[in-house]
Amino acid sequence: MIPQRKIWALREKNANQIKDKKMPQYIAKILENRGITDEEDIQKFLNPTLEQLHDPFLLKDMNQAVARVLKAIDKNEKIYIYGDYDVDGITSTSVLYLFLKNELQGNVSYYIPDRLEEGYGVNVNALKKIRDEGTQLLITVDTGITACEECQYALDIGLDVIITDHHECQDQLPHAIAVIDPKREDCHYPFDKLAGVGVVFKLIQGIALTVDHIDTEDIYKYLDIVAIGTVADIVPLVDENRVITYNAFKKIPNTWNIGLKALLKISDYKEDNKITAGFIGYRLAPRLNAGGRIGDAKRGVALFITDKEEEAYQIAQELNQENAYRQELEEKIYNEAVKIIEKENNLEEEKILVVASENWHHGVIGIVSSRITEKYYRPSLLLCIEDGVATGSARSVEGFSIFEALNRTKDIMNKFGGHDMAAGLSIDEDKIQLLQNNLNAYANEQMTPETLVPKLKADSYINVEEITVNLIEEIQQLEPYGMGNPEPQFILKGAIDEIRLVGKNNNHLRLGLSDNQTKINGIGFGMPNYDKYYKLNDSIELIGQLAINEWNGLRSPQILIKDIRHNLSSINYLLEQYNTYKYQVETDYEQHLEGFLASNNIKTIHREKFEEIYKKLNYNLKVNGGTQSIFDLIQPKTEAFIQLVLILDVFDELGLIQYKMDIPFLEYHLLKNKKVKLDSSKLYKILQQG
């Protein structure tokens, strides 16, 4: 079955604002679509230099934080870094540790809580243990912005705290020496989308600017680790994040850090390849995350701070093995979650999926939640129940803040935190159903029907003959891609001259597209069954990303396909036919119907066809909800389309369905489960006369 409906849209903003005639046409379009039209902004975007980094002292409480750290260094006080167990937390902890140790010779240690035993965030038991070691200053990284009670406890036991975080702030801030978070309402820092490790880097930058013996150039060597955490935390790769990643990606292949070298090796990095956000997100980050998800996240820090090659490679191998185990565990939990959803959740009514089990591993439910959200395209919460308490992760879709949704029902939760697209929470088991009800009530108020339909945004239409290796190389100067700077996508038109399934399990689509005697090959990963709905010579449109295929020393352009649809001209013709039919039939039903059927070569529609369509509607409703591509139901032919409309009208007459046709999509509700007689329909009887 073709995947659920997707909305295609052209970005096309600020058209023709860039006046530089020497700039390639498609580069100009892409920049305009991202709102980058001023000459100075264009140069900053295309050539992000470290001089573009903002003044760290624009961050609220930066002065207090720098002063307290330098006081601790001057008095040789014990400093503890308290980090989160994800990649952002691991890299944040590592960078700050290395800086304090190497550049300031600080008396520094670090602490990362155990995901399974301690859970997310700062906890009192850890604070007591840290204070008992003689610690006088605690610096949180990528965590702490909601730790009000814990910070008060730290104050009571004589432990000074500096909070550095990037998550959304709640109504009350922790009582601490300094609270550095660009999302503070009273903070006027020019960029509030830094990752946790980005905020840590600003603290390092602030210290370096204050201390005479540290050259600011010396701190830039840490950017390779900062970039890994930035990409892994999926923050927008614009402004300072673009500056960090753009410059770091050039340094990573020849990194000074022994641990990162070992991680690159174990991740099959080839020295002549470019570092991309995709490589970090899909190769490096999962291995670092595996430590925190399955084992001990401290090993990720140990990897980055070691100065011994043998130790680094040993840790990297362990992380690699745990990542393989994580993948197996993830697949098992994903399949179980899908079974629960298909059996217990009402996909027609529930806009937010809440799924809980006692048998799931805390460390991977966040990844599974992402996959569930991708499959059903709606926000999801996966909860692991243990001793009457459920802890878990939430993921959302574009246009709906899961943080705000949880915030509206915060009184029933033990704790929660996060941002628009992802969150973590803890709640008593007996309140899970109430949470589900409250979230869906909020979603019903806030969501529109379009919220739960995937969006594919293209920068422009492009002709097949225009796509060259040279053009693709020009577009690649816009890297690194990520949130805020998505990889450019294009819409192509043409005729299919090759279509087949490839891959070990035949789950990828290979397609050749021809237009004006020029051909381009495309690959659609994870797009099985499309060969059943499209055939040779079909006129289609496809949307995807341009890439260079390298094979046997040859380089050729190709397109990474994200979706396919029949050519809009064909769809518009069907729409015209549909409107004609509706007008004629509603004007004078019996007078026009017979002639309409004859003109469209519609003869008897047999009972079996009605049964086939109803079964498909029923099945598709359970899987994809009440919006469906008509091409999930029929072949793209006028006769088949008219037959479908007639069948739907019979079902409507019998009270079986309510539907609305928005070519090429069908929105519908099935109204009855009981059996009805088709020959009770006046239209059905006419259709049987042939």
End-to-end Cα separation, the chain, in angstroms? 31
**CA 354 to each of CA 222, 340, 365, 391: distance values in angstroms, whole numbers, following the listed order:** 40, 10, 12, 12
Q: What is the pLDDT of residue 690?
A: 62
3-state secondary structure 169-219: CCCCCCCCCEEECCCCCCCCCCCCCCCHHHHHHHHHHHHHHHCCCCCHHHH
Same-domain pairing of 189 and 161: yes
Residue 2 lies in a domain: no
What three-state secondary structure class fits 671?
Answer: coil
Q: What is the pLDDT of residue 4?
A: 59
Q: What is the pLDDT of residue 74?
A: 96
d(CA 367, CA 331): 10
pLDDT digits (tens, 9 = 90+) for 565-597: 887 676 666 667 667 766 666 666 666 677 767
Task: Say if residue 560's pLDDT is above 90.
Answer: yes
Cis peptide before 664 (omega within 30 of 0): yes
Overall domain count for the chain: 4
What three-state secondary structure class fits 656?
Answer: coil
Q: What is the pLDDT of residue 185?
A: 94
% of the chain with per-residue pLDDT over 70? 93
Task: Say if residue 394's pLDDT is above 70.
Answer: yes
Same-domain pairing of 239 and 309: yes
Q: What is the pLDDT of residue 109?
A: 97
Q: Which of 347-361, 538-552, 561-575 has the lowest mean pLDDT?
A: 561-575
Q: What is the pLDDT of residue 111?
A: 95
Residue 62 lies in a domain: yes
Task: Say if residue 631's pLDDT is above 80.
Answer: no
- Tokens at 264, concatenated: 């690159």
Contact status, residue 319 vs residue 287, Cβ threshold 8 Å: yes
Query: Comparing 293 with 518, which gets the higher pLDDT?
Result: 518
Same-domain pairing of 240 and 162: yes
- Tokens at 427, concatenated: 């709640």
The mean pLDDT value for 305-313 works out to 96
d(CA 421, CA 437): 20
Domain end among 418, 450, 482: 450
Please give the order of strands across the beta sheet that includes 665-670. 627-629, 665-670, 657-662
- Tokens at 535, concatenated: 């055939």
% of the chain with per-residue pLDDT over 90? 65
Q: How many residues does the chain have?
A: 690
Same-domain pairing of 109 and 230: yes
What three-state secondary structure class fits 513?
Answer: strand
Task: Say if residue 2's pLDDT is above 90.
Answer: no
Same-domain pairing of 244 and 213: yes
Residue 327 lies in a domain: no
Same-domain pairing of 248 and 179: yes
Q: What is the pLDDT of residue 345?
A: 87
Q: Which of 343-357, 446-460, 564-578 has the lowest mean pLDDT?
A: 564-578
Residue 108 lies in a domain: yes
Task: Say if residue 686's pLDDT is above 90.
Answer: no
Please state the separation of Cα 302 from the chain's center in Å: 29
Q: Which of 444, 443, 381, 445 is nearest to 413 (CA)?
A: 381
> At 82, phi and psi to the nearest 5?
-115, 110
Q: What is the pLDDT of residue 21?
A: 66
Contact status, residue 240 vs residue 191, Cβ threshold 8 Å: yes
Q: What is the pLDDT of residue 551?
A: 86
Domain end among 566, 594, 629: 566
pLDDT digits (tens, 9 = 90+) for 468-520: 999 999 999 999 999 889 999 999 999 999 999 999 889 999 999 999 889 99
3-state secondary structure 336-398: HHHHHHHHHCCCCCCCCEEEEECCCCCCCHHHHHHHHHHHHCCCEEEEEEECCEEEEEEECCC
Provide the residue type at 363 as one letter. Answer: G
Q: What is the pLDDT of residue 297?
A: 85
Residue 331 lies in a domain: no
Q: What is the CATH number of the domain that holds 316?
A: 3.90.1640.30
> At 676, phi and psi to the nearest 5?
-130, 160
Residue 622 lies in a domain: yes
The mean pLDDT value for 99-124 works out to 89
Task: Say if residue 466's pLDDT is above 90.
Answer: yes
Q: Which domain holds residue 527?
A: 7-15+456-566
Same-domain pairing of 554 and 607: no
Same-domain pairing of 394 and 485: no
**CA 81 to each of CA 97, 116, 138: distance values in angstroms, whole numbers, following the listed order:** 7, 20, 6
d(CA 655, CA 443): 29
Please state the separation of Cα 641 from the chain's center in Å: 35
Q: What is the pLDDT of residue 570?
A: 63
Q: What is the pLDDT of residue 400?
A: 95
d(CA 615, CA 316): 51
Q: What is the pLDDT of residue 7?
A: 85
pLDDT digits (tens, 9 = 90+) for 8-56: 999 877 667 777 767 888 999 999 999 898 989 999 999 999 999 999 9
Same-domain pairing of 408 and 489: no
Query: Comparing 598 with 542, which gets the higher pLDDT?
Result: 542
Residue 30 lies in a domain: no
**CA 154 to each of CA 136, 358, 551, 666: distance values in angstroms, whole numbers, following the listed order:** 10, 33, 60, 59
> At 65, phi and psi to the nearest 5?
-65, -45
Q: What is the pLDDT of residue 348?
A: 77
Of the spans 51-65, 206-220, 261-275, 627-641, which averages the highest pLDDT? Answer: 51-65
Q: What is the pLDDT of residue 129?
A: 95
Place of tokens 């043409």: 494
Residue 173 lies in a domain: yes
Same-domain pairing of 643 and 617: yes
Q: Which of 92-106, 391-405, 631-645 has the lowest mean pLDDT?
A: 631-645
d(CA 470, CA 27): 12
Same-domain pairing of 284 and 369: no
pLDDT bin (cut points 50, 70, 90) of residue 624 is low
What is the overall mean pLDDT for the chain?
90
> At 281, phi and psi to the nearest 5?
-65, -35
- Tokens at 689, concatenated: 């006369």
Same-domain pairing of 445 and 540: no
Q: Which of 482, 479, 557 is nearest to 520 (CA)?
A: 557
The mean pLDDT value for 411-423 works out to 89
pLDDT bin (cut points 50, 70, 90) of residue 532 is confident
Q: What is the pLDDT of residue 357?
A: 94
> At 686, phi and psi to the nearest 5?
-65, -40
Positions of E strands within 567-681: 627-629, 657-662, 665-670
Domain end among 566, 596, 626: 566
Give the DSSP per-residue string, 54-108. PPGGGSTTHHHHHHHHHHHHHTT-EEEEEE-SSHHHHHHHHHHHHHHHHTT---E
Task: Say if residue 445's pLDDT is above 60.
Answer: yes
Task: Say if residue 655's pLDDT is above 80.
Answer: yes
